[in-house]
Each structure stands twice: as structure tokens, then as C-alpha cells.
A = this chain, B = another copy of it.
């Protein structure tokens, strides 16, 4: 068992596969070497049954981060209704947008999650070019909303390390930083950790490889050096 990995594997199945079988293969090959897994809406809408989520959640080790990334961005009671089945099936971290605000929004979701031993992660910046059009102007406000809500973690993109540095400086140790955008989107493994992130969310680079376990081992090695420096 490898402790201290900073890798969260994004389970984004390709077209034309049985999504649960595909995920189970990746999970069984990598679960002793990673910090956790993230599933998203494209996977959820391809499930034969929500019950399959229990199989997937049980295959992940008990203490892994089991993250559901629906990029929730609705009023509080709608978000609560949306997360209930996932909590029921064993998932325990949920990503929502801080853009929607705290009152009657994230505060309602976060209270519900805490009552159910689950945790909130908020998005404060994204990896695509559109993120600069409206979100990046208000990053500070988005961070404030996240901190006020009591989010466990925030999402900021590995593709723009200056945002990660800004976020770390602003929130200190009050929340974890999770960074997507490694691999095909442009950042290299280790870039986000070097800038101050706690976890790197990595999908295709691992899941589309012919040897996911080997790639995970290599990335864990790369991650060790910025961690030692930190």
C-alpha cells in the first residue's frame, strides 16, 4: 500500500464501453497507489442503473476520496436532491461551483453533506479558455464564498499555475487545492503541486494508457520531488 499519493484519477470512459466494467478495471489496477477517484456527469448519464455506483464505490478502497463531479450550480435544495443517491451508494466528496453563492445555495448543500459525513469541494477557476471571460475576474470573491461556506477543498487549474499560487496565498491551509488539466489539456504532472496544489486530477494520461498502473507509479515518483521540497 502506497501512502501519500497526490493523484486523483478522473474516470472518464471512452465511447462504446460498458462504463462500470471500464471503471472497475482501472480502479482494481490502481487503487493501492492513488489518493482517490473522480466520476462525472458523462459517466452518470451512461449508467445502466444508479445501483452500479455501489459496486464501483466498494471497489475503491474505503479511505480513498470518492469524488462526484457534477459541477453542481443550482439552488441548495436542488443540489441536495441531486447528491442523495450518490451518498447512498458510498461517494463522499462533491464538486459544486462557488459562483452560485453561499446563501440558499452552497450553505444548504454543505450542511447536508456534513450531516452525511461527506465533503464539499468548490470550483474557483477552470482549465479552459472561457474561464477568463467571467470567472477569473472574480476569483477573489469565489474564494471568499468557498471559505465562508467552509468548503473542504477548491478546484483550480493546473494549466494556469499563477491562479493556484494566488489561491494558496489567499486560503492558506483552510482548504485543499485540487487541480485538473494535466496531460492532454497541457500541464505536466507535478506542475500543480509545485504551484501549491494538494492533489492533481489526472484522467486520460492514466486511463487511456496501455499500462495505467505503471503511469501512476511514474507520476507518484515525479510528485515526490516537489513534495520533498514543500
Q: A134, B128: Cβ atoms under 8 Å?
A: no
Q: How far is the CA of A50 from the CA of B47 in the complex (A)?
A: 8
Number of copies of this protein chain within its complex: 2
Q: Is A229 an interface residue (CB 8 A)?
A: no
A169 at the interface (CB under 8 A from B): no
Residues of B within 8 A of A82 (CB): 40-42, 45
Given A41-B78, A74-B41, A137-B138, the answer on whether A49 and B48 have CB atoms closer than 8 Å is: yes
Binds B, one of A54-62, A94-102, A192-200: A94-102
Q: Which residues of B contact A131 (CB under 8 A)?
A: 100-101, 105
Partner of A101, one of B45, B85, B86, B132: B132
Chain A contacts with B in 19-60, Cβ cutoff 8 A: 40-42, 44-50
Using A44-B45, A82-B41 as known contacts, say yes or no to A75 and B134 having CB atoms under 8 A apart: no
| A-B contacts, 30 listed (Cβ < 8 Å) | A41-B72, A45-B50, A45-B84, A46-B50, A47-B50, A73-B99, A75-B126, A75-B128, A76-B128, A97-B97, A97-B99, A98-B134, A99-B99, A99-B135, A100-B135, A101-B130, A101-B131, A102-B130, A103-B129, A103-B133, A104-B130, A105-B126, A105-B129, A105-B131, A106-B130, A107-B130, A130-B145, A133-B141, A134-B138, A137-B141
